[in-house]
Structure 1
Amino acid sequence: MARYADDLSLAHMLADTADSISMARFRALDLHVESKPDLTPVTDADTAVERAVRSTLARTRPRDGVLGEEYGATAPAAGSGSRQWVIDPIDGTKNFVRGVPIWGTLIALMEGDQPVVGLVSAPALGRRWWAATGLGAFAGRHQAAATPIRVSGVSRLADASFCYSSLNGWEESGRLDGILDIIRASWRNRAYGDFYGYMLVAEGAVDAMVEPELSLWDLAALIPIVTEAGGTFTDLAGRPGPAGGSAVASNGKLHQDLLDRLGWPTGR
């Protein structure tokens, strides 16, 4: 499993590059913002970060595939296996545009359909989270200032701090009643949003985070961090991995209760 150590070090180098670009554009008066076809915003920082990351990967991992939110997919070289880097240049673009510091660059490496390396860098928060399969999960300002992280031991929803994404999305998914049930049953609830709720789960500060609809670049980096920290990460149907396009992340002890309340018990 130590074979991912070099890939994790590369992910940190990519994040250093991304941070320098994104922080230079954060709260910039001349920030350029456009709307994509799905009406979500994209800034010149999003595109500049992804171009820079792709350029470095082309030099350092030329045989690996790349999937990015802004520029799509580049297939792995023939005979190189199924390694693919997955990049979200700025997760939380709406926060970025409004000057809210909760945004970050998400970098993952997948082998086949499984994320094996994940890194989230939130430079405006001065914090980074990372993990690789078999190497554990860590947080800190950078790789040389690493602290191991671990999910909580809370075993009852009545004692749990619960995090969720926008209620509008849950209403559109037809599962608003399930979310409201969890909110009423939990000790505390907050909508931190985007990557941040998942990182709080991995750190043990929050006990669960759920979202109804996500793309691969939203998910891939988060999964190794939560699972290497001892947590459980599935879709709404209880299936592990990112393929389902939704997320239920927890400390593991609460997971089945969450799935049941959302109407998707394990094995259904």
Structure 2
Amino acid sequence: MTQDVRIEDLKENLLDDRISVCGDEQPVEQLSVQKGIGEKKQWLRKMLEESSSPSKILYVDNKPVGQILYYPESSIPFLKDPDPKMLHVRCSFVHLAQQGKGHGKALFKSVVNDAKTQAKYDRLETVSFDPPGCGLSQTAFWKRMGFKERPEGEPHELEYLINGGLTRPRKNNPRRVGEKGVKIFYEPTCIFTHQFSDRIAEAVRAIDPNVSVEMVNMWEKPEMAKRRALVKGCVYINGKPMKHSIFDGEEFKREVQALLNPED
């Protein structure tokens, strides 16, 4: 039986469809996810107003089952000297039952075709990640689409060329600042952002229940991120950026302990 497949650019009236692609198969009833959904909708609306469509939605028989998220580097408010010729591809996802049918490729090719038609961009970049439960490895998928590893970059820092040669990725060298407490810097581009941020806050408070913890949306408070020279999310404890992530387990806990109690 032939299926009806189409791709739509995101519009205001399609916001719920866009959110549902990532949320249909996940526990969206969690308060942290609901907060993430609210922030992402607000961010998507702002992008639609100030830039252009930051996402495409793939429908199969009128059901939204796939998405790709992207935006120009020039729209990122906390970056120093953004490259006007760079388009960031943040993520793409197709429902598990619809994977392996060419839908992810169709979404990406639609973005590339737009970029070539508009003649605004020379390259696309992505930082691949492979979250559990999402099926096909994003790293493998992007490389199949033609992305290459960048000079002096990590294996997950990838670039797709339209014109010119490969460029070096930005290095994240966060600065120390004079302050007390904990600040968790994040971007509102994923509905699951606060799942991770809340886990970080819980891990920190397990060590010091009285410590002040502040969540900082880098798109809403870009000056705070600029002051620290951040190019991505980061956790600060008493003015010092953490080196380990929540996924590093005991190493993360030891670093939290050391930064909260430097005299121990």
Same fold, judged at TM 0.5 (above)? no
Higher strand share: 1
Structure having the higher Rg: 2
TM-score if structure 1 supplies the norm length? 0.30
TM-score if structure 2 supplies the norm length? 0.30
